[in-house]
Structure 1
Amino acid sequence: MNICRKTKLIKFSPGLFFCITVGSIVFVGGRQVADLPIDSLLISLLLGIILGNTFVRAGWLKPGLGITGKQMLEFAVMILGASVFLPDMLDAGHAIFLLIVIGVSGSMLLAYVIGHFLFGLTRPTAILIGVGNSICGNSAIAVVAPIVGATSTEIGAVIGISAILGAGQIIFLPLLASFLGLSDYQYGLVAGMAVYAVAQVYAASAPVSKASASLATVVKLTRVILLGPLVVSIQGISKAVAFNRSSQTVPRDDSLPGYIALINQYVPWFVLGFIILIGLRSTDVIPQVLGEQIRQVSQYLFVISMLAIGLSVNLRDILKIGPKVAATIFSVLFFMIGVSLIGGRLILGH
């Protein structure tokens, strides 16, 4: 038994140690650079893709990459729940919150219809496009990826292309304010609804005005908080679809009590933990300071996991689906801009 465990440890250690070492350097380095224009998670993913498609093709890394890119990623998803405070959802105001819900729901549906049914992208790819571009960018994609069973190539393609197009928003979106004659309030709403990542939201709105930046940040953070309910919804829908397609129910584990076995069939351990931690944070059992500290740990693990995923990506596979992914992302972007423009003028009376 001990020999077997030692053998497994030796098998998994090289890849795990490599990812932890390089990922730690990326994470710490990113925190040392003020106003870093690129998210550490994206840097880690791109570095992994570059290394995996040029220098690092060693088979001895592969077992460790599997653990780092799956189990560690799932654990990072779970503990992220400790930083989600649901009462904050309503702080933006009921009208804006309703607009955000409409935008997020509509963009998720649009990404799936256009990406999967029109362009023939896989279901996980279409879902990741919707999640990443309607919620909070790279982190949302990393959270949902294990739930929908996305491959390394699917994750790499969606994050990489979304991040590139998101960077373009910083340059071109402010031009929209003057072109359409938007007020600071209207533009802040557009930027908060449409821009890919949190840091990019500020970069795209601050050049217009402080008022735009403030509103854009509030809107974007409200979208981020919707990640919790969205994760639960995607998990429920995924299991319902899988159940309907199956001619048999999932075998129960008779070694567990009935209600635990039922939960175990339909809710992965990390999603259940995610929900529980959200509840503890939202009721202040987990204080804000501790929740923020746990979030930092989660981000650190995400960076390490993204390196492992990048190392497992075949760049040629990404290039094959790249144009379709980009076209789907553009459709979501235009939808979010349209919803925010209409909402700002009609629903909110601005």
Structure 2
Amino acid sequence: MVKEFCQKWGKRIATPQMLVIAIVTLAASFIGAWLKQYPGLSLLGALIIALIIGMIVQFPLRKWYVGSDQVRAAGVKDAAGLIANKLLRLGIIMLGFKLNLDVLFTTGIKCLPLAAIIVALTVVVTYAICRWLGVDPLLAILVAGGTGICGAAAVMGISGSIKVAKDREEEKSNDEVIAVAIVAIMGVVFALIELFVGPLTGLTDTQLGIIAGGSLHEIAHAVAVGAALGPVGEDMAVIMKLSRVLMLVFAAIIIAIWWDKTKSEVKTDGKRKVAFPWFMLGFIIASILGTFVPFIRVAAPVLVDIAYIILGMAMAALGINVNFSVLLHRGRNAMIASFIASILLVLFVTLLAVMFF
């Protein structure tokens, strides 16, 4: 079995197209990490910038590298798909080093139950609105997860929990990109709204930080808005946001079971096969090690930086395979649903912030 595994993956990795895509996605990831330091681009964050670069790069790749060579085209698609799939899981596992459980279970102890309520309600409501607007169930649950939990990482984490029939794998890849694009746009829009409207509400920095961490989609969005609130607001925004990130583990497992019971098309010997998200356990293990093992705790910031580089490569690879016609046609109603849900999310989190902080 080990020999067969090595032969299978060895053949897929040892191709010229894999080397090309690896270099391109690594460059996109580093560029995204560099550009995120600039005002405005910091609201997008390194992962979304890498995704955009991947979407742009696909055109020169097709023109100057692939051309009319069908074998090379298939190799590029396969290489990008492999990088997006495998590195995404590795990146999410390593992102666990960012989650300091000691801080969450002390300073942020009040945030954890609120995060569970926020995530559960937002995912359910967003999914319901998507389905009401006629959005396909797979795209609906990906948008719901991205809106309710932690943006792109949630979309890809939940996607990794869901298995589809082989003839729908390309559709699933397209839905991943659509969902990531939607939560990125919504995150930027609502981050700008909170940046300009928040100080006018008369709420405290702590309350505004809770609202930012509890309602914004990406970690980058919460950090950007929190930084404008001062040290207290920034700390609360980060703690609240990381509390929602922790919920990704439970959400991915619950959604995997729910999908298997109600939507799954994948069967083995007449029985359904649950796509249990084992990599989420790696996320928890990494957070435990990063919190309680001294030498790993010291190295955690570097490990998190590496995680973002790996995730950036995965996002760029995802962008390389995006189908723009599908993105434009399938994403409209899902974006409307996410917009409505994001408004409800901000209002609900504001109420919680006023009541408990």
Q: Which shows bigger deviation, 317-326 or 230-239?
A: 230-239
Change in Cα spacing, 1:87 to 1:112, as seen in structure 2 (3 Å) is: farther
Q: What is aligned with 2:219?
A: 198
Aligned-pair distance for 1:220? 1.6
Report the 3-state secondary structure (helix = DSSP H, G, I; strand = E; otherwise coil) of the residue aligned with 2:62: coil
- What TM-score do the two structures reach when normalised by structure 1? 0.80
Contact 2:92–2:153 (8 Å) recurs in 1: no
**Residue 107 of structure 1 pairs with residue 122 of structure 2:** yes
Question: How many angstroms apart in 2 are the aligned matches of 1:7 and 1:100?
Answer: 39
**For residues 179 and 70 of structure 1, do their structure 2 counterparts lie closer, same or farther at Cα, with a shift above 3 Å needed?**
same
| 1:335 and 2:349 aligned | no
Summarize deviations over 1:75-105 as a string: whole Å, max 9, x none: 3334444554444432344433322221111
Is residue 161–residue 276 contact of structure 2 (8 Å, CA) maintained in 1? no
1:131 aligned to 2:156? no
Q: Compared with structure 1, are the counterparts of its residues 146 and 10 closer, same or farther at alpha carbon in structure 2 (3 Å cutoff)?
A: closer
- Asked if the contact 1:53–1:315 (Cα under 8 Å) also holds between the matched residues in 2, the reply is no
In 2, Cα distance between equivalents of 1:318 and 1:334 = 23
Q: CA deviation at 1:319?
A: 0.6
Q: Provide the rounded CA distance (Å) in 2 between the counterparts of 1:297 and 1:276.
A: 17
Instruction: Spell out the pairing of 1:1-350 with structure 2 (5 A cutoff).
Output: 9=11, 13-33=15-35, 35-36=37-38, 37=42, 38-52=44-58, 56=62, 58=66, 59=73, 60-81=75-96, 83-115=98-130, 117-149=131-163, 151-241=172-262, 248-250=270-272, 267=276, 269-271=278-280, 273-274=282-283, 276-278=285-287, 280-281=289-290, 284=293, 287-346=296-355, 348=356, 350=357
Contact 1:89 1:225 in 2 (8 A): no
The answer to whether the 8 A contact 1:135-1:223 is kept is yes
Q: Distance in 2 between matches of 1:98 and 1:124?
A: 27
With 13-22 and 55-64 compared, the bigger mean Cα shift is at: 55-64
Q: Distance in 2 between matches of 1:240 and 1:20?
A: 37
Whole-angstrom distance in 2 between the partners of 1:231 and 1:49: 27
Helix, strand or coil for the counterpart of 1:148?
coil
**In the alignment, residue 45 of structure 1 is paired with which amino acid?**
L
Deviations 1:165-187 (A, max 9, x none): 32222322233335543233322
The runs of 5 or more residues in structure 2 that have no matched partner are 67-72, 164-170
AA at the equivalent of 1:136: C
Distance 1:267 1:184, change over 3 A: closer
Structure 1 residues without counterparts, runs of 5 or longer: 252-264
**Shift in Å, 1:269:** 5.0
Question: 1:46-95: CA deviations, max 9, x gaps?
Answer: 12222335652631412322322223333333444455444443234443
What per-residue deviation string (whole Å, max 9, x for no partner) do you get for residues 294-327 of structure 1?
Answer: 4333322222222222121110111112321221
In the other structure, the counterpart of 2:70 is: none
Q: Percent identity?
A: 21
1:278–1:237 CA distance, 2 compared to 1 (3 A): farther
Coordinate RMSD, CA, aligned: 3.5
Moved more, 100-109 or 286-295: 286-295
- Stretch of structure 1 that moved more, 171-180 or 318-327: 171-180
> What TM-score, normalized by structure 2, do the two folds share?
0.78
Secondary structure at 2:150 match in 1: coil
Aligned residues: 333
The match for 1:254 is none
Q: 1:241 to 1:298 in 2, by over 3 A?
A: farther
The alpha-carbon distance between structure 1 residues 178 and 297, as it changes in their structure 2 partners (threshold 3 A), is closer
CA contact (8 A) 1:189 1:344 kept: yes
SS in 1 for 2:105: helix
Does structure 1 conserve the Cα–Cα contact (< 8 Å) formed by 2:186 and 2:342? no
Q: Quick check: 232-241 or 309-318, which moved more? A: 232-241
> 3-state SS of the aligned residue for 1:226?
helix
